């Protein structure tokens, strides 16, 4: 999701209460480094190693932005320098597919790169970065959707073990600090590529300016199926739209 900030008074808890839904078979820990706030569940405590990896990824982004000052504020796609690190390449590729700035994919990209780095040490590793996730699991899981923030998690998407790894990313004009040009209560996207899921969530939330735009949002999501988008949940002004592999269940 786009990291630019604007004042937001609705449902802005720094404690991220939805993280209280623990995974009893895994060890959970939180990593906070500057603006990056990860919640990770793994088979063992990887907190020191994950923190080091987050610092490395952040340093790569900051170094690239020093040389390319247009990178962080961009609200439209940019072409990555061919010598850029993988985190930059993935962000730019997702932005080009969805028509947003590369920083719209930063949270999902970091989540996936962290999970990929340590999957060999923990085949079960769930990484959530401010509502954007990348998940590797050897067992079935239920992925919560914060459709009514004041009431906590009420909906979920069941995901079978054979469907992992996968990513669920969220964007909203009502929750959190991320810049949105729309009026979406919530947009959640699903993909095996977290950079794509993150960028697509931002783009679709930007388009969802009112309930009447729901059909356009779902149609655009379907157009992106060929690029790797697997599903979307969208909510605005009392209307809900669902497309793709987004089977909903009640927690």
Least-confidence region, from 111-125, 153-167, 212-226 = 153-167
Residues in the chain: 251
Specify the range with the lowest mean pLDDT, choosing from 32-41, 168-177, 241-250. Answer: 168-177
Between residues 78 and 25, the one the model is more confident about: 78
User: What pLDDT sits at residue 9?
Assistant: 37
Distance CA 6, CA 123 (A): 38
- Residue 234: the pLDDT is 96
Task: For residue 74, name the pLDDT band (cuts at 50, 70, 90).
Answer: very high
Task: Provide the percentage of residues in the chain whose pLDDT is more than 90.
Answer: 78
- Taking CA 197 as the corner, what is the angle to CA 94 and CA 178, rounded to the nearest 5 degrees? 90
Domain positions in the chain are 17-250
The pLDDT score that the predictor gives to residue 12 is 43
Average pLDDT in the 38-64 region? 98
Specify the pLDDT at position 149: 54
- Tokens 């404690």 locate to 15
What does the mean pLDDT of the chain come to? 89
Please tell me the distance from the alpha carbon of residue 37 to that of residue 3, in angstroms, as a whole number.
12
pLDDT band (50, 70, 90) for residue 178: low
- How confident is the model at residue 22, as a pLDDT? 63
- In this prediction the pTM is 0.89
- The residue written with tokens 């079960």 in the block is 124
250 vs 26, 146, 147, CA distance in Å? 23, 12, 11
pLDDT grade, residue 21 (50/70/90)? low
- Which superfamily, per CATH, for 17-250? ApbE-like domains (3.10.520.10)
Report CA 240 to chain centroid distance, whole Å: 20
Spatial contact of 174 and 185, defined as CB atoms under 8 Å apart: yes
- Is the CB of residue 77 less than 8 Å from the CB of residue 104? no
Q: 158-183: b or e for each residue (b if 16 or more CB lie within 10 Å)? A: ebeeebbbbbbbbbbbbbbebbbebb
Q: In whole angstroms, give the CA distance from residue 35 to residue 39.
A: 13
Residues 162 and 173: beta-carbon distance below 8 Å: no
């Amino acid at each position: 999701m786009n990291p630019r900030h604007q004042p937001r008074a609705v449902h802005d808890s720094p404690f991220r209460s939805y993280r209280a839904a623990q995974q009893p078979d895994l060890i959970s820990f939180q990593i906070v480094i500057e603006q990056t706030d990860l919640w990770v569940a793994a088979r063992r405590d990887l907190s020191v190693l994950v923190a080091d990896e987050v610092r490395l990824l952040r340093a790569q982004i900051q170094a690239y932005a020093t040389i390319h000052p247009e990178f962080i504020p961009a609200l439209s796609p940019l072409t990555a320098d061919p010598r850029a690190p993988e985190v930059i390449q993935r962000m730019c590729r997702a932005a080009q597919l969805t028509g947003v700035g590369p920083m719209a994919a930063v949270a999902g990209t970091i989540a996936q790169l962290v999970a990929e780095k340590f999957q060999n040490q923990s085949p079960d590793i769930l990484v959530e970065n401010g509502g954007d996730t990348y998940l590797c699991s050897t067992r079935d899981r239920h992925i919560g959707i914060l459709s009514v923030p004041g009431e906590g998690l009420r909906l979920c998407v069941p995901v079978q073990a054979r469907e992992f790894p996968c990513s669920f990313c969220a964007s909203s004009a009502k929750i959190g600090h991320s810049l949105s040009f729309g009026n979406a209560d919530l947009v959640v996207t699903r993909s095996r590529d977290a950079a794509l899921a993150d960028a697509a969530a931002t783009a679709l939330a930007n388009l969802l300016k009112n309930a009447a735009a729901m059909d356009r949002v779902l149609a655009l999501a379907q157009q992106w199926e060929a690029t790797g988008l697997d599903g979307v949940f969208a909510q605005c002004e009392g209307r809900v739209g669902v497309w793709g592999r987004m089977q909903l269940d009640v927690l």
